[in-house]
Amino acid sequence: MLRIGEGYDLHGLSRGGPLRLACIEVPAAVSAVGHSDGDAATHALCDALLGALALGDLGSHFPSSEERWKGVASREFLRAVTGMLAQRGARVVNVDVTIVLQAPPLAPHTEPMRSALARELAIAKEAVSVKVKSADGLGPVGEGVAVEARAVVLVETPG
């Protein structure tokens, strides 16, 4: 059976880089505020994967109230979620991630992002899309005080 999942995340930004997005480090004058490393793209992707199998959300599995997740690399969350899907015999067909950030421009980083996510998901890079946008100067993302990410995934399950 094919199942779809959707994920969304928003993190505030503070002075001082680097910025972690889609399991890579982007040189930037800002970094994301968060209990973990604040990787909004990976968090949105994890939520989409969990959503595809109706397994709750990222916060229910890795509560930000727990000290052990403080400062943890979000690739650890993605590995854990990928493992949960594999345990259920689920196969990720493709993922599509959109990151919205005013600055710096993320276009030079989409290929390394695709590679990093594909590696963690253990799927072909061709099945991983990363799209980037600015917010046209509008809203908190446009004002440069937040980063936003969305993800959609398709997962094939045995039953």
Compute the least distance from the CB of residue 89 to Mg ion, in Å: 28
Closest CA to 5 of 60, 40, 56: 56
Compute the least distance from the CB of residue 130 to Mg ion, in Å: 17
Compute the least distance from the CB of residue 60 to Mg ion, in Å: 13
Of 67 and 126, nearer to Mg ion (C-beta) is 67
Of 41 and 128, nearer to Mg ion (C-beta) is 41
Burial of 128 (0-12, 13-18, 19+ CB in 10 A): buried
Of 9 and 148, nearer to Mg ion (C-beta) is 9
State which residue has the least CB distance to Mg ion.
Answer: 43
Compute the least distance from the CB of residue 35 to Mg ion, in Å: 8
Q: How far, CA to CA in Å, does 76 sit from each of 29, 93, 152?
A: 25, 21, 20
Binding site for Mg ion (CB under 5 A): 9, 43
Closest CA to 21 of 5, 43, 1, 2: 43
Compute the least distance from the CB of residue 34 to Mg ion, in Å: 6
Q: What is the largest CA-CA distance in the chain?
A: 48
Of 38 and 92, nearer to Mg ion (C-beta) is 38
The one-character DSSP state at 62 is S
CB 98 within 8 A of CB 150: yes
Of 10 and 158, nearer to Mg ion (C-beta) is 10
Rounded Cα distance between 37 and 33, Å, is 8
